[in-house]
Structure 1
Amino acid sequence: MTTVAYQGEPGSNSATAARVLYPEGRELACTSFEQALDAVTFGMADVAVIPVDNSAAGRVADVHQLLPESGLFVIAEYFLAIRFDLMGVPGATPEGVEYVRSHVHALGQCRKVLREGGWRTLVSDDTAGAAREVAELGDPRHAALAPPAAAELYGLEVLRSQVEDDPENTTRFVVLSRDSVLAPNTGEPTMTSLFFSVRNIPSALFKALGGFASSGVNLTKIESYQMGAGLNASRFYVEIEGHPDESRVELALHELRFFSSEVRILGVYPAHPHRRRERIG
């Protein structure tokens, strides 16, 4: 049985993603992203399912700081449609609600219903945790914005369903493993994630990335970050469409390595079908 670590409480979106990806797996709820990654590193879990981007809120900042040093590899990606329900204790009504609890990102993704209700907001560590808190309080003045699964899990009633501002709200998750499992080069859509540090020479970043343009390789993401204090050269996280064994990608990576002091492949994995639908749309 695969043990799947995730950050959050049972009933959270991360728990939902973990259950979809590993329906027969054993779930290991963790209080932080770092704890979930450590669970894989130290053998308490086989994989971690971690959110990295949200279509409304952008990147999950903590994750992008932790991934480079985790030593783990990306083996899959998954796009989850995000749904939030307003839920309260049995007998509660929207008119009687005074306070709404949720994670800060969820509150930001449900501004319309919060503005219409005129409720005061309280920040919780987790969306499902907010539902648990409301259940523990037993106070009809308190409600939670949480994924639909949390209502049944914590014995709450749905006061209003699907209250997210954007019906296309989507979170991208990656699956991380201790072992590098590279997808074979079968011609199917493939993603490659990597980190690199440029050499300390003029125009190094421009030249390092030039190979992707000249080889016709699409970069879907590039983000910079610095590790530790000081004025060290920035490191970059990149995601590209393609497989390292493809000639065009191989040429681009060769040029990247020439202008970089470090290049590390983090994962080669099948592109999720959502990418195809997104491009068509």
Structure 2
Amino acid sequence: MTIRKIAYQGEPGANSHIACGNVYPDWQPLPCATFEDALAAIADGSAALGMIPIENSIAGRVADIHHLLPGSGLYIVGEYFLPIHFQLLGIKGTQHEAVTSVYSHVHALGQCRKFIREHGFAAHVSADTAGSAREVAEWGDFRRAAIATDLAAKIYNLDVLAANIEDESHNTTRFVVLSKTPRWAPLANGPVVTSFVFRVRNVPAALYKALGGFATNSVNMTKLESYMVEGEFTATQFLADVEAHPEEPPLARALEELAFFCKELKILGVYPAHTYRIESQARENGNPDSPSPAVV
């Protein structure tokens, strides 16, 4: 039987590695040094899918992906929300009191700021969380600890000195599942998300007019990110998520109106809404028992 591979950015034990295992437990995770390498692995067939973080509830958007995804030639076929938990990891036999320095990715350090300050640790930035765990294991120094995952502790044979040290309990990362070929979710088969990129014409009120169709057609837009492209201050590209299917009349009309005011419009994916998204909205609307769609 051919083993299917799913690419992710980072070293073994990273949160992206955990996401791969949670969603595709029978697939082989393929670690990649950079986001570019992960996207290239999907594009050249080294991996059939990719698990890529796109935004975090605390740190915000993953900027590299917003720039890389539109030109990658890849498509979004699913989403996954992973609650983020960080552990303080040291070599076997380390006493918590012996630690003076902690190492991790800059975002992980920022998301554990209260814990680091409370214990007076010196914080050092590493390339990623799992990489910091590997380094601590290699150094063999009781004074140095990593902020990483439970999985990293198992892989690199480290002790968990303190568990769940993140500052905020709602810390969650949203991942998108990428594929070389588009795979639209079927129509009328549960809640879906449509992701697309567009560039508006450089004329007054172009964005206002372009987005008007979503309001008049009652299409819920849950994400709208803007960023410059090609080094031009006047060339702005937008990435948007809406909760609707392009084959449904409301979104079809909204996209038709959007296209009239755009220089470019490309649908990146039409995929099932993850249960976390639906449950969060149900809680906001006071309906915690709302049914959940199928998970990717």
Q: What TM-score does the superposition give when structure 2 sets the normalisation length? A: 0.93
Q: Structure 2: which amino acid aligns with 1:88?
A: G
Aligned to 2:248: 246
Deviations 1:232-281 (A, max 9, x none): 42111110010001111111111001111111000000000101221123
How far residue 187 of structure 1 moved from its aligned partner, in angstroms, is: 4.7
2:162 equivalent to 1:140:
no
Deviation at 1:230, TM superposition (A): 3.0
In the alignment, residue 195 of structure 2 is paired with which amino acid?
A: S
Query: In the alignment, which residue of structure 2 is the partner of 1:218?
Result: 220
* Unpaired segments ≥5 residues, structure 2: 284-296
Name whichever of 212-221 and 19-28 sits farther off.
19-28
One-letter amino acid of the structure 2 residue matched with residue 3 of structure 1: K
Equivalent pairs counted in the alignment come to: 281
Provide runs of 4+ in structure 1 moved above 3 Å: none
Look up the SS of the partner of 1:164 in the other structure: coil
Correspondent of 1:15 among 17, 22, 25: 17
Alignment correspondent of 1:53: 55
Query: Matches of 1:224 and 1:249 in 2, distance apart?
Result: 21
Other-structure match for 2:288 = none
Q: Does 1:125 align with 2:127?
A: yes
Does the residue aligned with 1:235 lie in a helix, a strand or coil? strand
8 A Cα contact 2:193 2:271, kept in partner: yes
Quote the residue 1:74 is aligned against. 76
Q: What pairs up with 1:37-186 in 2 under 5 angstroms?
A: 37-186=39-188
Partner AA of 2:8 in structure 1: Y
Aligned counterpart, 1:267: 269
Displacement of 1:202 in angstroms is 2.0
Q: Distance in 2 between matches of 1:231 and 1:117?
A: 44
Per-residue CA deviation, residues 190-215 of structure 1 (Å, 9 max, x unaligned), is 00000111123221111000000111
What percent identity do the matched residue pairs reach? 52
What RMSD in Å do the two structures reach over aligned CA positions?
0.9
- Asked if the contact 1:2–1:22 (Cα under 8 Å) also holds between the matched residues in 2, the reply is no
Can you list the C-alpha shifts for 1:4-30, whole angstroms capped at 9, x where unaligned?
100001111000001112111111100
Task: State TM-score, norm by structure 1.
Answer: 0.98
1:53 CA displacement: 0.5
| One-letter amino acid of the structure 2 residue matched with residue 63 of structure 1 | I
